[in-house]
A and B are shown apart, each in its own frame.
Chain A
Amino acid sequence: MLPSYFEFYNPVKIVSGHKALDNLPYELSQMGVTRPLIVTDKGVVAAGLIQVVQEAFGSSGMTIGAIYDDVPPDSSVDVVNAIAEVYRANGCDGLVAVGGGSPIDTAKGVNIVVSHDKGELKDYMGADRLTGPLKPLVVVPTTAGTGSEVTLVAVIADIKRNVKMAFMSRHLLPNLALIDPRMTLTMPAKITAATGMDALSHAMEAYTCLQKNPLSDAHATAAITLISRYLPLAVEDGKNATARLALANASCMAGAAFSNSMVGMVHALGHATGAVCHIPHGVAMGIFLPHGLAYNLPERAEIIGELLLPLGGAEIYAATPPQSRPERLLESLNKLQKALEIKAGLPMRLKDAGAREDQLGEIALKAINDGALMMNPKEMDMEDAKAVLKKAF
């Protein structure tokens, strides 16, 4: 399906492969950075990953401005302001985020603060509030799911006002994404499975939602092919560097796809479930993905059927008549989910993930106000959302 009009923007340089991290000082110097501030969290430090980053600076002649390693799982305005102080006190001139979604979003928030002389973080909340380029930002992902290394979004909590602030701007896109399989080797099987399903949901929603276009489709289908082949391998053997690199690449491509074609109801429900029940995002994505595809089936049957090729493979696709492909796709997805449930303990139902039935109404209300819903092919109102949630429960 060719859209009559589309836009695609991904200016992030991607450096991906074995020992890619060793290029970090060179790439920073190319951006004019001499004293980078590294933003990370305790989990990354405990896994020994920050050591790998530090070693990459060996013999480079570059000074690390500071390493801030106290980013909490849900970053807040106070954390962002504290890091901005560290940045200024140490005369830093660029940022390197090392971690999963939280350190990356935090670094994006810090970048807003240190790049503007005036105002507070909340002044820049919402879409398109940033009007000029920010300081150089490099992202080194340590999970293979969020795709934050190529997205233009950051979410930071304002604990005092009890709201999650979303920032969307092309200026939030990092300058460089460094993908090195060493950074994801230590991820436990359950997190590998959940982040893999997150990446899969990015790719599948990018392919099926209203803003799909030929370039996002290319990224999305390539990502699905890699996830289908390598996610079970990475869950089974976490030390498989090839599988880790494949998943990190898939996550990055899925990120580029959904950053340009957006996501839909699966993410709207997932964001809401995360906010109400604190279920990890990847787990929620794994649960909602088949329900979202099934809900959108009446509007998108042919497009959903096309996904059988990257997910199920050429032989299954060719052997399945076109009208049966959407059903077969859902079967293949279900098979993948069951394998991940058995091998990694990834929940398939909301109740198994810790949600309560009395929370479904609140989730539905939050979901219908989520911006992701705009690009969903089929309308979802409060009652529809409740019905989908009930099925997923």
Chain B
Amino acid sequence: MEKVYQPLRPGRKWFKELVAHVVFFVLGRAFQSAAKLDAGIRREVAEWEEGFTLAMCILPKGPSMLLKKVDGRIRYAGWAKEDADLIIRFKNIESAFLVLTPQMGSARAFAENRLSLVGDVARSMSFVRCLDRLLAYLYPAFICRPLVKRMPPVLRPVRRRLYIYTLGIPFGL
């Protein structure tokens, strides 16, 4: 019998997509919460213009998250449905999974071209500094250390971690 050649439709990586959805939600809510608690993140965010939007997404149409500066504070605004001022795009779900799980830090992800940036590079530097501080709250030092070039000097990490996990992420406080 003659072999038939026809188009293939590769399946979806449901588990990794689900994990990415969850981590984006956690990251977004945690960022909102940490921006309130941490003076370093507050100082960085104060420099961002009112209404500034930042999206993280997985190409081509994967999970995403949107952060928006409203009334001087950063808010998690759910999925990135609209265009944003700064967009950090993971080129594929596998790269996103490495960074979000968190097996790879942002500097290494950029160095390995796993991320693509659309927008103002100076603003992305400010965001990465915030992200490093956020990681210090989200994870204990032994997880955080390999992800950052130098451990950010954050105050009361354990107490604030507890706040972020119990009130910040579930209730957006």
Contacts and interface: CB of A to CB of B under 8 A. Distances in A.
Contacts of B128: 374
Interface string A1-23: 00111110000000000000000
A128 B112 CA distance: 16
Contacts of A126: 117-121
Nearest to A376: B149
B108 A369 contact: no
Contacts of A4: 112
A7 B113 contact: yes
Nearest to B118: A128
Contacts of A379: 148-150
B125 A374 contact: yes
A210 interface: yes
B122 interface: yes
Contact of A127 (B107, B118, B125, B129): B118
Interface residues of A, number: 25
Interface in B95-119: 107-108, 110-114, 116-119
The binding surface of chain A is classed by DSSP as loop
B121 A3 contact: no
B158 to A, nearest CB: 23
A168 interface: yes
Contact of B108 (A128, A210, A262): A210
Interface string B135-152: 000000000000011100
A369 B124 CA distance: 8
A371 B149 contact: no
Nearest to B122: A369
Contacts of B114: 5
Contacts of A374: 107, 110, 124-125, 128
B122 A378 contact: no
B111 A211 contact: yes
B126 interface: yes
Interface in A163-207: 166, 168
Interface string A357-393: 0000000000011110111011100000000000000
Interface of B: 107-108, 110-114, 116-122, 124-126, 128-129, 148-150
Interface of A: 3-7, 125-129, 166, 168, 210-211, 262, 368-371, 373-375, 377-379
28 contacts: A3-B111, A3-B112, A5-B112, A6-B112, A7-B113, A126-B119, A126-B120, A126-B121, A128-B117, A128-B118, A129-B119, A210-B108, A211-B111, A262-B111, A368-B125, A368-B129, A369-B122, A371-B124, A371-B125, A374-B107, A374-B110, A374-B124, A375-B110, A375-B111, A377-B149, A378-B150, A379-B149, A379-B150
